[in-house]
Homo-oligomer: A and B are copies of this chain.
Amino acid sequence: MTTSSVPATAERPLLLRAAGGEQTPHPPVWFMRQAGRSLPEYRRLRSGGSMLAACRDPDLVTEITLQPVRRHHVDAAILFSDIVVPLVAVGLPIEIVAGTGPVIAEPIRTAADVNRLRRLTPDDVPDIGQAVRQLVAELGDVPLIGFAGAPYTLASYLIEGGPSRDHARTKALMHSAPGVWHALLDVLADISTTFLRVQIEAGAAAVQLFDSWAGGLSAADYTEFVLPHSQRVFAELGHPEVPRIHFGVGTGELLDLMRSAGADVVGVDWRTPLDVAAARIGGQTPVQGNLDPALLLADWPVIETEVRRIVAEGRRAPGHIFNLGHGVLPDTDPEVLTRVVELVHAS
């Protein structure tokens, strides 16, 4: 029995209530890539320095992570980082090339390559824990979402040597050398787990595991070659009180498998309506999404109609966190994002 007349849940952040399957008065809202190139204050801060250096500077990470919270009044911050940060932290020679993405000079393709990889320890990323602690102190009631790439997506960068449209080498390796594949994914699952756990133990209130490229896989390939490793990340993370969000773009055929990896919330892109997605994953799991980020470049009445539709579809799901169906595009007008937050909050 509580001494307060207000229900305890009403004092918890909206994000955590929706992630716990509660129907909130309006959905909490945040945006994938809300910190980044769409914001002039970000572009000013980043001019000159490298992306990877920025991700390892606690003060810069803190400031960049806070920018969209201050500007848009979103209901969650997400740690500003890059999925290759923990890979660089274990000594892999990766660079982020502007206009291309992460590039690794010597791709990982053999058992010998995998054997040379080492696992991540918290001591490799003291700056990440520090950034999270600073952020939690600054954010007050706004929850911070921790961030990591999932083993498959990390593997695809390491094997291809950079971004790829078809992930042909990755798929060929998983099928033709399954021993090498599973050994690689085992190390990467460990790295993802440690990277997320560092963030949780420094105060992150939720985590999102990004399997950005999983949508390129058939369900059969996902089940055999990816799911066990993503499952292990969530299982070994500990801290079951911290909600796990799991997302990949183009994963309409994989949503229930991604839920079964251990997700408390399944992220959905714009291709699958939220109510359809919620039914597809069994009707018990909250969903996150799913405004097409391209539509933020349309006129406001178009966006307003889309936001209202998505909020209505989300009401038919057991918990809804409003988000885009993929990351904010760099050309997005930040004022439009602010208006979307206001509209979701007023709905």
Copies of this protein in the assembly total: 2
Query: Would you call A11 an interface residue if the criterion is a C-beta within 8 Å of the partner chain's C-beta atoms?
Result: no
Residues in B with CB closer than 8 Å to A218 are 270-271, 273, 292
Cβ-neighbour of A172 out of B167, B221, B250, B294 (below 8 A): B294
| Interface size classification for chain A | 20 to 34
Residues in B with CB closer than 8 Å to A175 are 295, 298-299, 302
How far does the alpha carbon of A331 sit from the alpha carbon of B175 in the complex, in Å?
17
Closest CB of chain B to A261's CB: distance in Å?
A: 18
Residues in B with CB closer than 8 Å to A295 are 171-172, 175
Residues in B with CB closer than 8 Å to A267 are none
Query: Would you call A239 an interface residue if the criterion is a C-beta within 8 Å of the partner chain's C-beta atoms?
Result: no
* Inter-subunit contact A297/B172 (CB<8 Å): yes
**Could you mark each residue 262-279 of chain A with 1 if its beta carbon is under 8 Å from any beta carbon of chain B, else 0?**
000000001111000000
* Inter-subunit contact B298/A167 (CB<8 Å): no
How far does the alpha carbon of A172 sit from the alpha carbon of B298 in the complex, in Å?
4
Give the top 9 A-B pairs by smallest Cβ distance, nearest first: A168-B294, A172-B297, A171-B294, A175-B302, A175-B298, A176-B299, A172-B298, A176-B298, A168-B297
* Contacts A170-B294, A219-B273, A253-B272 known; 8 new A-B pairs at CB < 8 A: A166-B329, A167-B294, A171-B292, A171-B294, A175-B295, A175-B302, A218-B271, A252-B252
